[in-house]
């Protein structure tokens, strides 16, 4: 029994020292220009969803999805988010492949998460990625407005669609209308 425990301790020690040596001798890749392996994306995505399930408050939006609020959300998105998540003229961000992991292109591939999930992600950010926490940069009301816009992107009223078209030169499209070399989820 004693030897068995010692065996475990030695094995763990070797793994820790080996891991540290791997990193400190410079073998760890640090560039952000490669796509993460599928398994990593999959496991990290599951961990992120599970953490949100556990931590995010299931509040309904205090900001109703009126035309005016959705248009405000569109402007907030353009000012703060489109640089990483793609613009409302259906172009992918030029930085799409410059992050590890890459930012999802939220206009080309609208999200189908519930609004409490999106609000939590926007408010608290996503650790170990380029996704910032917006609680200091945007008011709570503005975070809800952009959340409502992102979760209603495929069910906008004709007036909001008209605003989109006039402002960004392209009419809002149904999902999948644009070919996009995405990275999946
Ligand atoms: C500097 C780049 C950058 C900016 C600016 C940015 N994001 Fe992100 N965002 C990211 C990255 C990278 C991810 C991917 C995180 C991951 O893989 O889990 C992400 C993920 C997300 C997600 C998905 C979270 C999930 O649960 O999978 C949402 C929603 C989101 N961002 C919304 C926004 C909104 C809204 C704004 C503007 C207020 C914004 N982002 C601004 C980089 C950015």
Q: How far, CA to CA in Å, does 117 sit from each of 45, 50, 56, 145, 158?
A: 13, 11, 7, 14, 27
Q: What is the pLDDT of residue 1?
A: 82
Q: How far, CA to CA in Å, does 20 sit from each of 9, 13, 14, 62?
A: 16, 11, 10, 48
Dist. CA 85 → ligand 1 center (Å)? 7
Cα(98)–Cα(21) distance, rounded to whole angstroms?
Answer: 28
- Ligand 1 pocket member 103 (CB < 6 A): yes
Cα(127)–Cα(35) distance, rounded to whole angstroms?
Answer: 17
Q: What is the pLDDT of residue 2?
A: 86
Whether 173 and 90 have beta carbons less than 8 Å apart is answered as yes
Dist. CA 25 → ligand 1 center (Å)? 32
Q: What is the pLDDT of residue 130?
A: 96
Taking Cα atoms as reference points, which of 115, 176, 119 lies closest to residue 151?
115
The protein residue with its alpha carbon nearest to ligand 1, atom 10, reads: 131
- Ligand 1 pocket member 126 (CB < 6 A): yes
- Ligand 1 pocket member 124 (CB < 6 A): no
The whole-model pTM stands at 0.91
- Ligand 1 pocket member 118 (CB < 6 A): yes
Which residues does residue 87 pair with via DSSP β-bridges, in sequence order?
Answer: 91
Residue 137 Cα: closest atom of ligand 1: 38
Q: What is the pLDDT of residue 176?
A: 65
Which stretches of the chain drop beneath a pLDDT of 50?
184-185
The protein residue with its alpha carbon nearest to ligand 1, atom 36, reads: 81
Place of tokens 């007036």: 159
The protein residue with its alpha carbon nearest to ligand 1, atom 24, reads: 121
Domains and CATH numbers, the chain: 36-168 (1.10.760.10)
Q: What is the pLDDT of residue 181?
A: 63
């Amino acid at each position: 029994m004693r030897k068995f425990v010692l065996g475990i301790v030695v094995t763990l020690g070797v793994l820790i020292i080996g891991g540290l040596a791997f990193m400190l001798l410079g073998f760890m890749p640090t560039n952000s220009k490669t796509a993460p392996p599928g398994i990593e994306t999959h496991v990290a995505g599951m961990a992120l969803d599970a953490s949100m399930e556990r931590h995010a408050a299931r509040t309904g939006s205090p900001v109703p999805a009126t035309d005016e609020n959705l248009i405000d959300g569109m402007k907030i998105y353009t000012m703060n988010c489109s640089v990483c998540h793609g613009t409302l003229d259906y172009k992918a961000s030029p930085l799409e492949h410059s992050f590890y992991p890459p930012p999802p292109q939220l206009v080309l591939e609208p999200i189908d998460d519930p609004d409490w999930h999106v609000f939590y992600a926007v408010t608290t950010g996503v650790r170990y990625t380029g996704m910032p926490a917006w609680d200091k940069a945007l008011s709570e009301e503005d975070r809800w407005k952009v959340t409502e816009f992102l979760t209603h992107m495929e069910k906008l009223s004709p007036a909001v669609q008209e605003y989109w078209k006039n402002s960004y030169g392209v009419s809002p499209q149904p999902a999948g209308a644009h070919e996009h070399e995405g990275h999946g989820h």
